[in-house]
């Protein structure tokens, strides 16, 4: 398979590594010359491609311009996918000549390591394009999560954003600092959910399963849900505080060392999880 | 150390196993005789105890009655801790004779395996009680997360409740089914967060760290945050649908087998994570 990738940032470069690791060809074009990898123009990157991956900035007008150019330069049969992490494919595909071959294929960072890839069709996407995307994701050794309908942030980033908002809230409110928050999340619920996901976790958290669990803890959940943060924007001064708190917590260790530790632990955890589960 | 545990359910029994595994004595009293383990009355369980753990139903009036009885029967120097997962310690300690020796020590299920234990002082808790609780949690091989001030659900269950509400929302809205939701969570963001926690994860998710990451994705986060579920109660008919969906997803595998797999994978993941990390 030959892939044309537009955008050579963390996600685009990750796509290229993943594809090549599975024996496919990948050409990456980025308007920043240092990030180009095998193509010196968008048209060259997508020429003869079986699939086009758009992985540019998360802004609708930027993505639409790239998609329009890619659609014109790619072969008529190419699948065209956006690596957007939040935008609605129905909105992205408006104005395309052939919206039926377009959808979102959303990998997570780091692309090489995290096993889930979301597939999100828009209103004009053909079922055949969904089937091609599902097969492609599976062939790359990843688990496809196929959405039945589009929502902002899809599934993965909605779950992430829900926890992340409350994490920010707890640090800004002075309940815990950045390091204690990360510890509570990583060695607490996220550990159990990495093994099983929330539904199976709570199914096993009370004798009799999910219903008695929720009936027993209903008043507790109501009190918590009623008091969770519901704001929709982080003020610049608060972002400044969070960034400083994160620097205090982790700034002494170099970024490259932290990335190396992350990747080594992710690989070790993934190895542990390849034991049969359920 | 000698511990008196009131309540022999999953959490109380887990406390007893954890304490005994570390060479301490633990006597468990439960009003259901089959769940008693080494004590046939509340007074017998707490007599001579260095620490009392209350692990009864998550209802304020039930806990207050148990705490009043325990306070009367335990030695004057005993630390008195509730394993509540959500109630405010300031409210629980109202009316106690010696509220200064009371706080919440909140372990997660399964108690033996999950490494985080929250310590939550109430307004009347003495600093010395917090120090004793911190030392106790550390001596049991766990990571204490000490809250600077109390909030409903503390830290762990606020993070959990935030993700769980959106997980329920996505399944009820028909975006994905229970199994795909669990897959998206467990092999997606929870995997990364089990390794690092959200702050360090996002610190490494963009060149330059948390601030450019949030500035770049600000509009995306705003759109997602604005569309997340904000209800505070699951309707009985919806709970029925969720319970049925969970049975369809996992009902064919026996509960004991699922618990055994969970514990085996948790141990394997914890083994992977004991590699040194930042």
Q: Which residues of B are less than 8 Å from A156 in CB distance? A: 184, 188-189
User: Over 50: is that where the pLDDT of A277 sits?
Assistant: no
Q: What global pTM score does this model have?
A: 0.94
The values of phi and psi at residue B116, to 5°, are -95, 135
Please report the pLDDT score of residue B133 as a whole number.
Answer: 98
CA distance B92 to chain A (A): 14
Q: Which residues of B are less than 8 Å from A215 in CB distance? A: 239
Q: Which residues of A are less than 8 Å from B134 in CB distance? A: none
**Facing residue for A221 by CB, picked from B161, B206, B265:** B161
Angle, to 10 degrees, between the axis of helix B189-196 and the axis of helix A156-172?
Answer: 30
Mean predicted lDDT score pLDDT of chain A: 95
pLDDT in tens, chain B (278 residues): 999 999 999 999 999 999 999 999 999 999 999 999 999 999 999 999 999 999 999 999 999 999 999 999 999 999 999 999 999 999 999 989 999 999 999 999 889 999 999 999 999 999 999 999 999 999 999 999 999 999 999 999 999 999 999 999 999 999 999 999 999 999 999 999 999 999 999 999 988 899 999 998 999 999 999 999 999 999 999 999 999 999 999 987 789 999 999 999 999 999 898 865 44
* Cβ–Cβ below 8 Å for A146 and B180: yes
Q: Quick check: A210 and A199 in contact, CB under 8 A?
A: yes
How many contacts (CB atoms, under 8 Å) link A and B?
A: 417
Q: Which residues of B are less than 8 Å from A210 in CB distance? A: 239, 242-243, 246
Q: How far is residue B98's CA from residue B80's CA, in Å, rounded to a whole number?
A: 10
Cβ neighbors of A276 (< 8 A, separation 6 or more) are: B261
CA-closest candidate to residue A137, choices A100, A108, A96: A108
User: Over 80: is that where the pLDDT of A20 sits?
Assistant: yes
Please report the pLDDT score of residue B276 as a whole number.
Answer: 52
Q: Which residue has the higher pLDDT, A163 or A205?
A: A163
Please report the pLDDT score of residue A278 as a whole number.
Answer: 39
The values of phi and psi at residue B131, to 5°, are -65, -40
Q: How far is residue A253's CA from residue A148's CA, in Å, rounded to a whole number?
A: 42
CA-closest candidate to residue B127, choices B151, B155, B152, B146: B146
Q: Which residues of B are less than 8 Å from A171 in CB distance? A: 199
Nearest CA in chain B to A110: B205
Domains and their CATH numbers in chain B: 2-146 (3.40.50.720), 156-273 (1.10.1040.10)
Best of A63, A134, A149, A160 to mutate (most B CBs within 10 Å, chain B): A160
CA-closest candidate to residue A23, choices A144, A128, A111, A141: A141
The values of phi and psi at residue A225, to 5°, are -55, -40
Please report the pLDDT score of residue A149 as a whole number.
Answer: 95
Q: Quick check: B232 and A235 in contact, CB under 8 A?
A: no
**Facing residue for B204 by CB, picked from A216, A255, A273:** A255
Q: How far is residue B256's CA from residue B278's CA, in Å, rounded to a whole number?
A: 36
Tell the residue number behind the tokens 């027993």, with chain if given.
A216
Q: How far is residue B199's CA from residue A36's CA, in Å, rounded to a whole number?
A: 30
Total residue length of chain B:
278
A48-72 tens-digit pLDDT:
999 999 999 999 999 999 999 999 9
């Amino acid at each position: 398979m030959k892939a044309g990738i537009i955008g050579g940032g963390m996600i685009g470069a990750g796509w290229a590594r993943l594809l090549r690791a599975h024996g496919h060809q990948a050409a990456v074009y980025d308007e920043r010359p240092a990030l180009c990898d095998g193509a010196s123009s968008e048209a060259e990157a997508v020429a003869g491609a079986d699939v086009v991956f758009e992985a540019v900035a998360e802004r609708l007008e930027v993505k639409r311009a790239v998609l329009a150019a890619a659609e014109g330069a790619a072969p008529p049969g190419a699948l065209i996918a956006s690596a957007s992490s939040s935008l609605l494919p129905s909105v992205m595909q408006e104005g395309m000549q052939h919206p039926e071959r377009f959808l979102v294929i959303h990998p997570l960072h780091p692309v090489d390591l995290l096993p889930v890839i979301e597939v999100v069709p828009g209103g004009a996407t053909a079922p055949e394009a969904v089937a091609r995307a599902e097969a492609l994701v599976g062939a790359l050794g990843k688990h496809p999560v196929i959405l039945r309908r589009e929502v902002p942030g899809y599934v993965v980033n909605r779950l992430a954003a829900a926890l992340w908002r409350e994490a920010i809230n707890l640090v800004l409110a002075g309940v815990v600092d950045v390091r204690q928050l990360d510890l509570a999340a990583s060695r607490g619920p996220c550990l159990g959910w990495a093994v099983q996901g929330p539904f199976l976790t709570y199914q096993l958290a009370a004798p009799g399963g999910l219903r008695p669990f929720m009936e027993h803890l209903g008043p507790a959940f109501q009190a918590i849900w009623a008091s969770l943060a519901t704001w929709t924007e982080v003020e610049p001064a608060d972002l400044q505080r969070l960034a400083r708190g994160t620097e205090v917590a982790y700034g002494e260790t170099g970024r490259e060392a932290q990335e190396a530790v992350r990747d080594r632990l992710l690989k070790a955890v993934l190895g542990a999880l390849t034991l049969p589960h359920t």
